[in-house]
Chain A
Amino acid sequence: MHDDLVARLKTDPWFIGGLGLVLALGVVLLIGPWLWPHDPHDMSFVPLAPPSAAHWLGVNDGGMDILAELFHGMRNTVVFGLVAGGLALVLAAVIGLAAAWFGGLIDAVCMRLADIMLAIPAVMVLIVMAAFFRPDPLTLALILGALLWPSTAKGIRAQALVVKNRRHITASRQMGASGARIIVKHLIPELFPFYLIGFGVKARMAMFMEASLAFLGLFDPSRKSLGLMINFALKYYYLDIWWNWLLPPLMVLGLLIMAVTFLAISMEKHFDPRLREAL
């Protein structure tokens, strides 16, 4: 069944487009900072210099190379998204599977907890944490990950309940397979697409939040970020430098979020049984 779905995914233009974007951005992210000679914290260049052979995107008001800033800001955003999305996914998978498998009290407690957490806006918690405690970005990403699991956990639980009641699970149980074996051999691998979807959705949300928090000035100002670049560049809109200073971080952020969105929407379309008919 899955082979058929993978074949269908390969012909979906949104999936191909999203994958292509992710790969292209990944290559830029891995190779760019290596090849580009400037340090983003080096403030020794002529402020507001236009683009030239030495500085492809010019220099900002503080005398820093804009392209170098862009590479580092992009890396920070992506790492933040991957860390928060990864933690959210692990928590969601463990809690969702446990709730579906054990049922009863564990299920009730997990889902009630998820309900309560869904009603607490994660971004408000992050703002308070960032403003009062000034933790490093990695800690903030982990806090965000710990707040984002509920909706994915509910989805995984619902799918796990479907799989749990299928005949091949009953069959393997009758053949004497232990609970642990069924979870490891059947439940976890058969829900694989839902992990990918959940991860994509959460990583997208986390990257968007990182950009917003940075734009609002909640991170250490010396940390390079797309949001802070946009914030600074916006103050110089009246100069003719918006296209080499303001536009690049906007486009990189847009492309990053778009890439993940395309992948998540396309996978959701193909793997979610409720949406499959709507293709």
Chain B
Amino acid sequence: MSHTSRNPRASVAAYLLAALVLVYLSYRLPTLLPGDFVTAMYASSHVTLTAEQDAQLKAWYQGPSGFGAYIAGLARLDWGYSFAFLTPVSRLILEALPWTLLLMGSAHLIAMAGGFVAGVEAAWRRGGRLEKAAVGGMTVLEGLPEIATGVALLLILALHAGWFPAAGAQTAYAAMGLGAMVADALHHLALPLATLVLAYLPGNFLLTRASMVMVLGEPFMQTARAKGLSALRQRYAHAARNALLPLVTRFVLRLAFMVTGALVVETIFAYPGLGTLLFNAIAKRDLPLIQGIVLFSSLMVLAVNLVLDMVYGIIDPRAAHAR
């Protein structure tokens, strides 16, 4: 959340408050809906409920249990029951989660590391022809939405050229060794990962370059030069460390959109993560599942924000001293 907040306990309290608000909204949501919404919703959905399931769903939504019981249920992994998949919501979420973490985690790491190094090098070579071309190319890329790049990659590399699989995360029913399995998973990962890296890299690059250019003008950089440090040492140990901070802040702000990014890209490539699960839940109007995924991913964003708030002091000792 804010990296200017000086008191760690106050920020923990703020996150807890935000989490409670989210859980409470999720708890209250069904009662805010008009009329008999279970019948209304499932009448227009692909899922047909038996009388028993109908009663069960109504009990889940309209039961008299209080907010405390709701929270206790969430803690016991009782997140409701999906009638489209005939499986508990929590199990569906936990099965999809590793794929999303793999995809989004590697995309963010690659985009951050790549954008950082490229941005530092570009700022070092400011004014050169290569640098100008890089800034131009990255600005154009920044303007391309994931839907466009993802669909283009899918059409060209998967469907027409056939170099990559068009859907899924693994080859189904294939018996293979560990090495082949990893290679297979990476093969499936390549296109969605490339789409996300193309979407996230330009912003990281432009930001690193801009903050790096400012740092390079600081007096301490002149000192570093005067001390006769190697160019590499000047660039990374002295300058880049300061340029890292805005990038981390941006990373945190981007996390809020992590599930959105996953949503569209996973859907395009039918990657079996939380995004595709949510897409299927929406298509089938499977309310407990939609509610569960939304609540889960919102809480996850809060948790990651909190961790990064704590870590910030380690990356920037100045922030820790300011407390």
Contacts and interface: CB of A to CB of B under 8 A. Distances in A.
Interface residues of A, number: 48
B48 interface: no
A212 interface: yes
B147 A218 contact: no
Task: Say whether chain B's binding surface is mostly helix, strand, loop, or mixed.
Answer: helix
Contacts of A115: 1-2, 5, 14
A251 B14 CA distance: 42
Contacts of A215: 147, 264, 267
A151 B143 CA distance: 20
B305 A127 contact: no
Nearest to B302: A119
B144 interface: yes
Interface string B132-163: 00000001101111011001101100010000
B52 to A, nearest CB: 24
A250 B22 contact: no
Contacts of A265: 139, 142, 206
Contact of B294 (A127, A212, A238, A274): A127
A116 B1 contact: yes
B294 A250 contact: no
Interface in A108-138: 111-112, 115-116, 118-124, 127-128, 131-133
B231 interface: no
Interface in B254-272: 256-257, 259-260, 263-264, 267-268
Contacts of B206: 265
B279 interface: yes
Interface in A8-41: 14
Given A128-B290, A246-B155, A278-B214, A121 B256 contact: yes
A47 B151 CA distance: 23
B213 A278 contact: yes
A237 interface: yes
Nearest to B256: A121
A119 B15 CA distance: 8
A128 B260 contact: no
A62 interface: no
B14 A121 contact: no
B38 to A, nearest CB: 12
B297 interface: yes
Nearest to B214: A277
B15 A124 contact: no
A14 to B, nearest CB: 6
B59 interface: no
B148 A253 contact: yes
Given A115-B1, A119-B256, A218 B282 contact: yes
A141 interface: no
B198 interface: no
B209 interface: yes
A131 B14 contact: no
B262 to A, nearest CB: 11
A121 B297 contact: yes
Given A120-B22, A121-B297, A131-B285, A277 B217 contact: yes
Given A115-B14, A116-B18, A258-B144, A250 B301 contact: no
A253 B148 CA distance: 8
B181 to A, nearest CB: 28
B307 interface: no
B291 interface: yes
Q: Lowest 10 CB-CB distances: which A-B pairs, in order? A: A258-B143, A261-B143, A278-B213, A278-B210, A123-B260, A254-B148, A115-B1, A115-B2, A121-B256, A124-B294
Given A209-B260, A261-B139, 11 more contacts: A14-B139, A115-B14, A119-B301, A121-B298, A123-B263, A216-B279, A217-B279, A238-B159, A250-B151, A254-B148, A277-B217
28 contacts: A14-B139, A115-B2, A119-B15, A119-B18, A119-B256, A120-B18, A120-B301, A121-B298, A122-B256, A123-B260, A124-B298, A151-B253, A216-B263, A217-B282, A237-B155, A237-B159, A242-B155, A250-B152, A253-B147, A257-B143, A257-B145, A258-B143, A258-B144, A261-B139, A262-B139, A265-B142, A274-B214, A277-B214
